[in-house]
Structures are given as C-alpha cells and as structure tokens.
Amino acid sequence: MIAFPNCKINLGLSIVAKRADGYHELETIFYPVALQDMVEIIHSSDKEHAVQFSHSGIPVPGNEDQNLCVKAYHLLKKDFPNLPAIQLHLHKHIPMGAGLGGGSSNATSVLILLNQQFNLGLSQIQLIEYAAQLGSDCPFFVLNSACHATGRGEILQPFVCDLNNYTIVLLHPGIHVSTAWAFSQLKPHAKPKSIATIVAQPMHTWKTELINDFEAPIFEAHPLLSELKNYLYQQGAIYASMSGSGSSLFGIFPKDQSCAMPPFGDKLRIDII
C-alpha cells in the first residue's frame, strides 16, 4: 500500500507562552501544500525484524530506530501486538529540517496506512491521539486540511481558508536552523490580534499583520533568508513568510503567475506548487 504524504506551511506563527512542561503555547494556521514524499508498506515474512526500513531520494540521516516512520510502527505495535512485520520504504522529496513538516507527515501516513492495511479499526480521533505522541504537528496531517492550531500545535479546529486560486512558491536555501536555538531566542507573549482573525481578513493585509515570530531572530542570524522573502515580494507575491522555524520560505502569488529562480547561488532549491 502506497501513500503520498504532503507538506504544510504556517500562515503566521505566534509563540504565546512558555509552559510548565517545557513546551510552548502557540497559535498558527496549518495549510497543506502539494509537495509530496512517498511511503510504501508491504507485509514482510521476516521473523527477526519487525520493520525493514529503506529510503531513497533526499538522503535520510540518523539511526533507523530514531526515524519517525519506524517509531510510528512501534507505537501501534505496543497496542496491537499481532501487527505483522513490514517492509517500509520512504522516498524523500520534501526537504528535511525546513519548517515544512515532512517528517511528521511521513510518520502520520505510516499510522494511517497501517490502520487501513491491517484493519486496526482506529477512528480519526484515535489516529490523532497516536499522532500527537509522535510530534506536535503530526495530528494536523490526519485531518490534512486548513486548521487553526493552538496548544503545542496539537489542538486543531478546521479553518475556512482556500488558496486553490493562488500559486504557492516554496524556496528552500539549504540552511539548517536549530529549532531549540530558535525557541531560545524568543520572548513568548500574547498578541493583540489573533492569527485566526488576521487570516480571515483580505490577503493584502497579511503583509503588515501576519507575523511568524521566528523570523526576527532567524533573519538576523541568516540575512539571506530576509533577502529571499524580499525577493518573493519583488516577484509579485501577495504574501510571503518563513514556514515554521525555517529555513523554507513561501510566497503566495496570483494564480498561474511564475517566479524566476532567485539569483542567490547554487544551494537554493525552488519548488513551484
């Protein structure tokens, strides 16, 4: 069984407060974007290995046991001990560590595929509960439609936001940003106007009102990202922003409008969705 997990962008990202458990309270709008990876699961007869994991495309670093897709299998295996052994293949196209949620999307797809392929009978609510154990933005990919997110990002409410009449351009400059470092640079505080209120306004107001709190410290540390955001506006974007804690940026353009490759060197990757 095969799935094509997509990525997401953040329309605004406000870090509201530091929690007693060490996490942060946030507000954002998650929006799905059709840049996809591929996940395939097939039954395995291997008696020694519960998961035979392989990957292609963008290299996937790190220990296999720490991969979120493998963790998703073992999370369900604890409650469903008869879950068969599998071969799990991941083809990566979504950049990693880019603020696009590719790893979270992949892991959530594994939960959904295992539920379907082996008739586990999990409801959408149960899948969301399992996904939340893997990562704060994993539950979004169970719903996979525009959502207003609060809490750690796991409290979701469907949100009316349709960007189908626009073109979304993604820029990934290959700069690694430490999420822990990024959070350490912020001073969480409540904002006078909610992100939900701003996104409900006409899009031309977003440029001055819809803010990603991570941009200020990350742009200071990596000025190229600020240049890229400005470049998107120069190319005609109605709204441009960094997604998550970066380093990917996106621009929302009028439908069918193109964006030229930015003249900032060979390390840039541009995906036009």
Q: Tell the residue number behind the tokens 């539950």, with chain if given.
A: 139
pLDDT band at residue 266 using 50, 70 and 90 as cut-offs: low
> Are 63 and 177 found together in one domain?
no
pLDDT at 271: 54
pLDDT at 256: 83
Domain final residue, candidates 125, 158, 191: 158
Over the stretch 30-54, which tens digit does the pLDDT of each residue have?
999 999 999 999 999 887 889 999 9
Q: What's the CATH code of the domain at 41? A: 3.30.230.10
Instruction: Name, in order, each residue with C-beta under 8 angstroms of 164's C-beta and a sequence gap of 6 or more.
Output: none
Tokens of 159: 């949100």
> Are 147 and 179 found together in one domain?
no
> Are 152 and 180 found together in one domain?
no
Say whether pLDDT at 180 is over 90. no
> Are 27 and 86 found together in one domain?
yes
Instruction: Name, in order, each residue with C-beta under 8 angstroms of 231's C-beta and a sequence gap of 6 or more.
Output: 262, 264
Over the stretch 56-110, which tens digit does the pLDDT of each residue have?
999 998 888 889 999 999 999 999 999 999 999 999 999 988 999 999 999 999 9
> Are 107 and 138 found together in one domain?
yes
pLDDT at 24: 84
> Are 74 and 208 found together in one domain?
no
Domain final residue, candidates 158, 180, 207: 158
pLDDT at 267: 53
> Are 136 and 200 found together in one domain?
no
- What is the domain range of residue 150? 2-158
pLDDT at 259: 83
> Are 143 and 207 found together in one domain?
no
> Are 176 and 123 found together in one domain?
no
Say whether pLDDT at 264 is over 70. no
pLDDT band at residue 21 using 50, 70 and 90 as cut-offs: confident
> Are 129 and 43 found together in one domain?
yes
> Are 138 and 190 found together in one domain?
no
* pTM (two decimals): 0.92
Per the structure, the count of domains in the chain is: 2
Could you give the CA distance from residue 84 to residue 47 in angstroms, rounded to a whole number? 10
Domain final residue, candidates 120, 135, 158: 158
Tokens of 135: 């990562």
Say whether pLDDT at 263 is over 80. no
Instruction: Name, in order, each residue with C-beta under 8 angstroms of 64's C-beta and a sequence gap of 6 or more.
Output: 53, 70
42 touches 86 (CB < 8 A): yes
106 touches 113 (CB < 8 A): no
- Kindly state the percentage of the chain with pLDDT values over 70: 96
* Active site positions, annotated: 8, 137
Say whether pLDDT at 246 is over 90. no
Q: What's the CATH code of the domain at 182? A: 3.30.70.890
pLDDT band at residue 178 using 50, 70 and 90 as cut-offs: confident
Say whether pLDDT at 269 is over 70. no
> Are 189 and 117 found together in one domain?
no
Q: What is the DSSP letter of 58?
A: S
